[in-house]
Structure 1
Amino acid sequence: MAANITKNQVLALYKSMLRESQKFPNYNFRAYALRRIKDAFKASKTLTDPKIIKKEFEFAQQNFALIKRQVVIGDMFRTDKLVIENLR
């Protein structure tokens, strides 16, 4: 990975993580993942040091891979929808 992470790369990763998190079959996991992603990216928005930005970007990529794996596992062990989900 290049030392300079572009804004477009960060936005693409952010959108990919949000999209993938929407695939969680469990409402609680889905809501938690979306909230954590938004909070983490918002907290990192003001970073200026390229080394820290690169470190945070790599951490986000690892979490994206984790989300993808967890979505697959969640699909294998699907449960009934919660009451809150049936209200939609």
Structure 2
Amino acid sequence: MATQPSRKAILSLYASTLRTAKSFSSYNFRNYFVSRTQDTFRGMQVEQDSTKLSQAYDKAVNELAVLRRSAVLNQLYGGLRLAVEEQSNVRTRGDT
């Protein structure tokens, strides 16, 4: 029988995964992984079966390792910022 992870362990994993998802330099990847993280942990929040919760937790731990490696690569090879992202040095029509 699998032991159920503690609430503190799940919240810690959620915070780590969310922090890693937000570290992507690419806007599209960042938003996708933040949304996916939130959906994954919402599913874990309502799970009643301790075996399924334990399996979901183990899967999330493994996915965090993959996400961390992917974030590092994305930061190394991140492209230009998109138009939808806030840019501080953008000139508007009224600027002279």
TM (norm. structure 2) is: 0.83
CA distance in 2, matches of 1:85, 1:65: 27
| Aligned pairs, number | 87
Q: Deviations over 1:24-73 (max 9, x none)?
A: 01000000000011011112211122111110000101111111010111
Identity among equivalent pairs (%): 26
Alignment of 1:11-22 (within 5 A): 11-22=11-22
**What does residue range 1-88 of structure 1 map to in structure 2 within 5 Å?**
3-87=3-87
Tell me, in whole angstroms, the C-alpha distance in 2 between the residues paired with 1:29 and 1:7: 28
Q: Of the two structures, which has the highest relative contact order with CA contacts closer than 8 Å and spacing of 6 or more?
A: 1
TM-score by length of 1: 0.90
Moved over 6 A (4+): none
CA distance in 2, matches of 1:53, 1:86: 38
Structure 2 residues without counterparts, runs of 5 or longer:
89-96
Q: Quick check: which one's helix share is greater?
A: 1
Which structure has the larger Rg over C-alpha atoms? 2
Q: Unpaired segments of 5 or more residues in structure 1?
A: none
Aligned twin of 2:92? none
Following superposition, the deviation at residue 87 of structure 1 comes to 4.7
How well do the aligned residues superpose, as a CA RMSD in angstroms?
Answer: 1.4
